[in-house]
């Protein structure tokens, strides 16, 4: 008979119903009795859907998670690898199977599982198949396009954070974000991040934060988990709410291999909550260092530019025109005086030539004028009518004529004519 270790000399209760606060069972006795009870259960056929399976080459045992197709109930199934080898390539995540197994209880961790002797596929599982169909549908609607992704703010005014209740992911995001940017502020919504109410609660929290104008980025985070735990993050209602959000959204579910549909519609997919913290805020030390480097480069550029302009100014000041500005004016005055002298000389020369030419024409004109002819000893005879007599035939004996001399005129009378005659008897 066993005795109670906490109460020496007192026998342990023979049945669970007979235990008391003063006479409890050791936990090992409970697990032993559960082990005995489970080991008496017979083998049975169980149906469900494979929601998580990772092949482990070389391992002595194979493990996968079997989930009920209607309820949120799942259990780990283990078997020898040869059992799954007989199923072939049809066995994969999403496959619907029938398993011949015996319940098995492991005392070390107090976990209940199934040990399978046979596994048979009966078609593709509904849940993952529906998720794949939904993914294709939403992709066809353009919800996953890169052009719909919003850029995350460089320095958000306030960060909306949706996490599980008392979850480590909350600390991962907040602690790492505050370590990078101590001025970061959070608006936190703690919700169920798995189970039947997960999608509804996350959607409501997302819409609440999206409505707040001071929230400039929203993070949905949880610390990874089994494939079945992530199924709510692929529900259509949640995915469409995320697509409709006006605030940039970061998905930090933390599951690299089996990304839920929320990852496809989010503006940024973080691999872990810590990665999300690094993405949503800048690093103050890096920004300060970058600012100092930029300031140093700017100071160097300004100094170089200032030196360049000072050198140009010194070069300008060293020019003769800057040393004696009047020298330029004097040079221009001298040039102007020479040009004026040259212009005056050319003008006087041209004028003299024109005067000489004019005098020549004047002398020529004077030489051919009637006055000049008269001064050479000639005179002009005019009739009383004033017409010029240029032929002896125009006068008769006794005519009175006016004689024009250089210095006046006189009246003369014709006393006779001496006209020349032609052989025909005509005067010439």
Q: Does the pLDDT value for residue 3 go beyond 60?
A: yes
pTM, to two decimals: 0.51
Tell me the pLDDT band of 130, cut-offs 50, 70 and 90: confident
What are 70-87's pLDDT values in tens digits? 787 889 999 999 998 888
Q: What fold, for 41-124?
A: OB fold (Dihydrolipoamide Acetyltransferase, E2P) (2.40.50)
Q: How confident is the model at residue 7 (pLDDT cuts 50, 70, 90)?
A: low
Within the chain, all domains assigned CATH 3.40.50.261 are found at 130-282
CATH 2.40.50.140 domain locations along the chain: 41-124
The C-alpha atoms of residue 30 and residue 381 are separated, in whole angstroms, by: 178
CB 406 within 8 A of CB 375: yes
The reported pLDDT for the residue numbered 124 is: 47
- 345 and 355 Cβ atoms separated by less than 8 Å: no
According to CATH, the topology of domain 130-282 is: Rossmann fold (3.40.50)
Distance CA 171, CA 124 (A): 39
What's the burial of 97, exposed, middle or buried (CB within 10 Å: 0-12/13-18/19+)?
buried
Residue 144 to residue 392: CA distance in whole angstroms: 133
């Amino acid at each position: 008979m066993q005795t109670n270790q906490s109460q020496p000399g007192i026998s342990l209760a023979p049945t669970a119903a007979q235990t008391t606060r003063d006479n409890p069972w050791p936990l090992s006795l409970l697990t032993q009795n559960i082990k005995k009870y489970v080991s008496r259960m017979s083998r049975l056929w169980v149906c469900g859907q494979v929601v998580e399976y990772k092949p482990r080459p070389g391992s002595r045992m194979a493990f996968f998670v079997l989930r009920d197709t209607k309820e949120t109930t799942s259990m780990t199934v283990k078997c020898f690898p040869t059992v799954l080898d007989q199923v072939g390539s049809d066995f994969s995540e999403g496959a619907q199977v029938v398993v011949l197994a015996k319940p098995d209880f492991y005392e070390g961790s107090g976990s209940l599982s199934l040990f399978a002797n046979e596994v048979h596929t009966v078609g593709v599982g509904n849940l993952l198949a529906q998720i794949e169909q939904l993914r294709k549908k939403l992709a066809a609607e353009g919800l996953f396009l890169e052009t719909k992704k919003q850029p995350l703010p460089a320095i958000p005014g306030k960060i909306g954070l949706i996490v599980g209740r008392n979850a480590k992911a909350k600390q991962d995001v907040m602690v790492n974000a505050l370590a990078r940017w101590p001025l970061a502020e959070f608006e936190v919504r703690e919700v169920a991040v798995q189970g039947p109410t997960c999608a509804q609660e996350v959607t409501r929290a997302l819409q609440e934060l999206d409505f707040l104008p001071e929230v400039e980025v929203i993070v949905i985070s949880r610390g990874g988990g089994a494939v079945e735990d992530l199924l709510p993050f692929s529900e259509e209602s949640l995915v469409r709410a995320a697509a409709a959000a006006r605030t940039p959204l970061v998905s930090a579910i933390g599951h690299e291999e089996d990304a839920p549909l929320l990852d496809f519609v989010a503006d940024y997919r973080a691999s872990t909550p810590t990665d999300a913290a690094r993405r949503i805020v800048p690093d103050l030390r890096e920004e300060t260092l970058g600012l100092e480097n930029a300031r140093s480069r700017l100071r160097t550029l300004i100094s170089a530019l200032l030196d360049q302009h000072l050198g140009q100014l010194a070069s300008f000041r060293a020019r003769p025109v800057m040393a004696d500005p009047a020298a330029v004016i004097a040079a221009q005055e001298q040039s102007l005086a020479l040009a004026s002298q040259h212009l005056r000389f050319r003008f006087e020369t041209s004028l003299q030539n024109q005067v000489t030419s004019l005098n020549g024409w004047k002398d020529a004109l004077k030489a051919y004028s009637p006055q000049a002819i008269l001064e050479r000893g000639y005179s002009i005879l005019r009739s009383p009518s004033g017409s010029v007599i240029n032929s002896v035939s125009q006068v008769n004996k006794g005519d009175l004529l006016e004689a024009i001399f250089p210095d006046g005129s006189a009246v003369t009378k014709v006393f006779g004519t001496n006209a020349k005659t032609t052989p025909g008897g005509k005067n010439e």
